[in-house]
């Protein structure tokens, strides 16, 4: 992606700079330029002056806001970030008590928190390691099918029950405890992530995107046509019919159903906290620094001794594992695992969350996921959808959902290319590095 110019860049040259120093057709030097150049004081000069003033004014405003923010940060105690994180965790834990057990808002927030895990996983691959992954939907599918295979009666000829509810123990199939299924989903998707990473080791840029896109499409087609693959007379997937009746989590009597959203909320909230902890620790570790080095300059990183193969495969595996965790949770929460869910648009949606929040920024990925998920699942369909009809227009706002997201992405790229909560290194590159080379001109002799 091309970098957008930062506000407050070099002023747009006026007519004098464009053609004033050139000689006219009659051989005389002048400031009027050619025939197409407006004279000084004309409409072109006025337009250039207005644009320059507006650009300079916006640059001064952003610079002043940046200085105020740094001044506030210098006055805060060094532990304020940890205190803020602890406060947000407490707010997140007690938030369900302010809503009804079956509240629609709680339902949407559970889905939004699942997308936070997806975004944090993709941020490891795209943000930390700089590997463009357009097939992230594959790990959502694999994690969901792990829940369907090991937490339902889909394989009806089998009879295995481990630490499940009394009801699940009384029906045929493979029924493992929810925590065990999470570990299996993470392990299987991590292995799949390593497989997808092997063909991309010698590829860069758009070619990595094409390979990962192909992997996502292979998994989608496999999910649809898996009914033709039999194991002891039982199909591997249920195609578009879907695997229904998946087991809810079982933690000793706590009700997990569609009338009690609080247990579901706290379960996914704990998964978010675990994902955040792993992301923060890995980012500051030796492996995290190796990912960033490969992202910045792969040739230099390899020449300094960073093992490229192992480092890239670990990025794919870790990002895939988080996708498998969230996929297994959603498979249990929705009670149905349908092949039609695993579309290419899912990968783009999660990638948009990472970009809007800020590539490489952990808290940016969290904010981007919460923002876009709430816009997609709550704000547009439940809050703003009736607005056009109230204004006398004959369409639903959900029909323009893709256009709305496209508009939001364009605005973020223009106004804040580094993201809403950017990584510090990327923020410095975009705010202080853009245009320096172009603005430096050799001294005239």
For residue 340, the domain's CATH number is 1.10.3470
DSSP labels for 332-366? HHHSEE-GGG--HHHHHHHHHHHHHH-TT-HHHHH
User: How far, CA to CA in Å, does 28 sit from each of 23, 34, 273?
Assistant: 6, 11, 73
Residue 43 burial (C-beta neighbours within 10 Å; 0-12, 13-18, 19+)? exposed
CB atoms within 10 A of CB 41: 9
Residue 353 shares a structural domain with residue 245? yes
Q: Which residue has the higher pLDDT, 97 or 205?
A: 97
Angle of CA points 244, 375, 363, to nearest 5°: 95
User: Can you tell me the distance from the alpha carbon of 252 to that of 164, in angstroms, rounded to the nearest whole number?
Assistant: 9
Q: What are 244's strand-pairing partners?
A: 336
Instruction: Give the residue among 426, 274, 418 at the shortest CA–CA distance from 282.
Output: 274
Q: Widest CA span of the chain, in angstroms?
A: 99
* Residue that is last in its domain, among 360, 384, 408: 384
CA distances from 383 to 48, 188, 207, 387, 399 (A): 42, 39, 40, 8, 14
Is the pLDDT assigned to residue 222 strictly greater than 60? yes
**Tell me, what's the pLDDT at 410?**
86
Q: What is the pLDDT of residues 257-292, one digit of tens each?
A: 888 899 999 999 999 999 999 999 999 899 999 999
Checking if the pLDDT of 435 tops 70, the result is no
Specify the range with the lowest mean pLDDT, choosing from 2-6, 115-119, 159-163, 266-270.
2-6
Q: What pLDDT sits at residue 394?
A: 81
Put simply, whether the predicted model's pTM sits higher than 0.85 gets the answer no
* In a shared domain, residues 111 and 70: no
How many independent structural domains does the chain possess?
Answer: 2
CA 365 to CA 348: how far, in whole Å? 14
Share of the chain above pLDDT 90, in %: 44
Dump pLDDT digits (tens) for 205-218. 788 889 999 999 99
State whether 71 and 208 are in the same domain.
no
Residues 47, 158 within the same domain? no
Strand 230-231 and strand 173-176: the pairing is unpaired
SS3 35: coil
Say if residue 373 is in the same domain as residue 253. Answer: yes
Is the confidence at residue 393, as pLDDT, over 50? yes
409 CB-near residues (< 8 Å, 6+ apart): 352, 355, 356
Question: Cβ distance 381 to 393 under 8 Å?
Answer: no
**Which residues, in sequence order, are CB contacts of 294 under 8 Å at separation 6+?**
129, 130, 301, 302, 306, 308, 311, 312
Residues 69 and 216 in one domain: no
Point out the domain boundary residue: 57, 75, 93: 75
Query: CA-to-CA distance for 122 and 88, rounded, in angstroms?
Result: 23
Please determine, for residue 14, whether its predicted confidence score (pLDDT) is greater than 90: no
Name the one residue in this structure whose structure tokens are 């005389």.
28
Residues 59 and 120 in one domain: no
303 lies in some domain? yes
Residue 281: inside a domain: yes
Is residue 339 within 8 A of residue 220, CB to CB? The reply is yes
Instruction: Please say if the pLDDT value at position 443 is more than 50.
Output: no
**Residue 209 contacts residue 132 (beta carbons within 8 Å):** yes
Task: Domain of residue 124: give its range.
Answer: 79-384
Per this entry, what is the length of the chain? Answer: 445
Distance of CA 210 to the CA centre of its chain: 18
Write down the mean pLDDT value for the chain. 81
CB 137 within 8 A of CB 349: no
Q: Give the contacts of 406 (CB within 8 A, at least 6 positions apart).
A: none
Residue 164 has pLDDT above 50, yes or no: yes
* 162 and 311 assigned to the same domain: yes
Do both 54 and 122 map to the same domain? no
């Amino acid at each position: 992606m091309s970098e957008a110019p930062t506000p407050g860049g070099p002023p747009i040259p006026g007519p004098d700079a464009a053609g004033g120093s050139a000689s006219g057709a009659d051989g005389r030097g002048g400031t009027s330029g050619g025939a197409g150049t407006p004279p000084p004081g004309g409409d072109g000069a006025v337009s250039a002056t207005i644009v320059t003033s507006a650009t300079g004014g916006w640059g001064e405003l952003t610079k002043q806001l940046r200085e105020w923010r740094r001044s506030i940060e210098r006055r805060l105690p060094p532990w304020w970030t940890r205190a803020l994180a602890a406060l947000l965790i407490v707010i997140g834990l007690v938030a369900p008590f302010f809503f009804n057990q079956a509240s629609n808002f709680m339902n949407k927030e559970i889905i939004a928190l699942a997308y936070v895990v997806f975004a944090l996983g993709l941020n490891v691959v795209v943000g930390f390691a700089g590997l463009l992954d357009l097939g992230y939907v594959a790990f959502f599918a694999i994690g969901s099918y792990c829940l369907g295979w090991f937490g339902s009666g889909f394989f009806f000829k089998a009879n295995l029950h481990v630490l499940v509810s009394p009801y699940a123990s009384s029906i045929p199939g493979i029924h493992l405890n929810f925590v065990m299924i999470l570990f299996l989903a993470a392990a299987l998707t991590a292995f799949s992530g390593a497989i997808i990473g092997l063909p991309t080791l010698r590829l860069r840029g758009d070619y990595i995107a094409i390979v990962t896109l192909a992997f996502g499409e292979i998994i989608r087609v496999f999910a649809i046509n898996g009914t033709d693959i039999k194991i002891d007379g039982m199909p591997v997937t249920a195609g578009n019919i879907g695997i229904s009746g998946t087991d809810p989590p079982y933690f000793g009597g706590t009700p997990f159903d569609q009338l009690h959203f609080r247990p579901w909320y706290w379960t996914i909230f704990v998964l978010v906290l675990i994902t955040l902890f792993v992301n923060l620790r890995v980012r500051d570790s030796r492996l995290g620094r190796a990912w960033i080095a490969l992202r910045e300059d792969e040739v230099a990183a390899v020449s300094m001794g960073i093992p490229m193969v192992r480092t890239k495969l670990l990025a794919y595996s870790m990002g895939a594992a988080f996708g498998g965790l969230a996929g297994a949770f959603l498979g249990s929460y929705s009670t149905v695992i349908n092949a039609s869910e695993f579309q290419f648009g899912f990968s783009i949606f999660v990638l948009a969350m990472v970009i809007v929040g800020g590539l490489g920024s952990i808290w940016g990925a969290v904010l981007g996921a919460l923002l876009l998920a709430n816009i997609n699942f709550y704000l547009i369909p439940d809050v703003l959808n009736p607005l056009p009809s109230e204004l006398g227009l004959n369409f639903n706002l959900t029909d323009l959902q893709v256009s709305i997201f496209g508009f939001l992405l364009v605005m973020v790229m223009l106004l804040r290319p580094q993201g809403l909560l950017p990584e510090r290194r990327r923020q410095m590159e975009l705010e202080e590095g853009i245009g320096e080379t172009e603005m430096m001109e050799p001294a005239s002799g």
